[in-house]
Amino acid sequence: MIHPATEDPMQGPLQELRRAVEALRPFLESPDQQAEFVVIEDALARLSAPRSATARLADFDPSRLSHLLDITGPDLAVELLARLTEDLTATQDLLETGVAQSDWKHLREGSHVLISLSGSVGALSLQAMSESLNAIAHRQDQGALDALMPPLSGELVALIQLIRATRPPYGTAR
């Protein structure tokens, strides 16, 4: 059981919101109303999800990801999110291989991709760490690499989780 002092203060209001949403269900008659209800349920699920993913991103600007989704448009938002997930996961694999094999070329390549992707979606602290990784890989500084990789890896995992949990804007073809 969670001690009341450490309990997430949003859980009480979210529980009340869940009850209110469920109370609406019997009154939804049209397919349009039912579709809107699904959007509400999705939003409620996102609000109720543990906040650990974003908490591990020390500096995250959600407006950048939102802007990226806006300029992509609703028809391509699903594909954009899938590509971001795929590219971030591939970069994670490249960095893990680079670290395991002390392959500075892989680390430089991965850092370039990660600088771009993290900056584009607003993971500013990850972008800064990726820039540091690039400099470390150029210097081939094993000690600095060993110190940087745990926090960088943690933020990369958090960003991948965040992108996977992101739902495209309303109106997106699914």
Q: Tens of pLDDT along 136-154? A: 999 999 999 999 999 999 9
- Is residue 3 situated within a structural domain? no
Burial label, 23 (beta-carbon count in 10 A; 0-12, 13-18, 19+): exposed
- Is residue 72 situated within a structural domain? yes
**Does this model's pTM top 0.75?**
no
User: Is 74 found in the same domain as 39?
Assistant: no
The Cα–Cα gap between 45 and 36 comes to 14
Two tokens, residue 119: 């900056």
Tally of domains within the chain: 2
For residue 95, the enclosing domain spans 62-165
- Is residue 2 situated within a structural domain? no
User: Is 102 found in the same domain as 41?
Assistant: no
Helix axes 104-121, 62-72, angle to 10 degrees: 80
Read off the pLDDT of residues 111-125 as tens digits, 9 standing for 90 and up: 999 999 999 999 999
- pLDDT tens string, the chain, 174 residues long: the values are 223 333 557 777 878 888 888 888 888 888 888 878 777 876 776 666 555 444 478 899 999 999 999 999 888 999 999 999 999 999 999 999 999 999 999 999 999 999 999 999 999 999 999 999 999 999 999 999 999 999 999 999 999 999 998 988 765 444
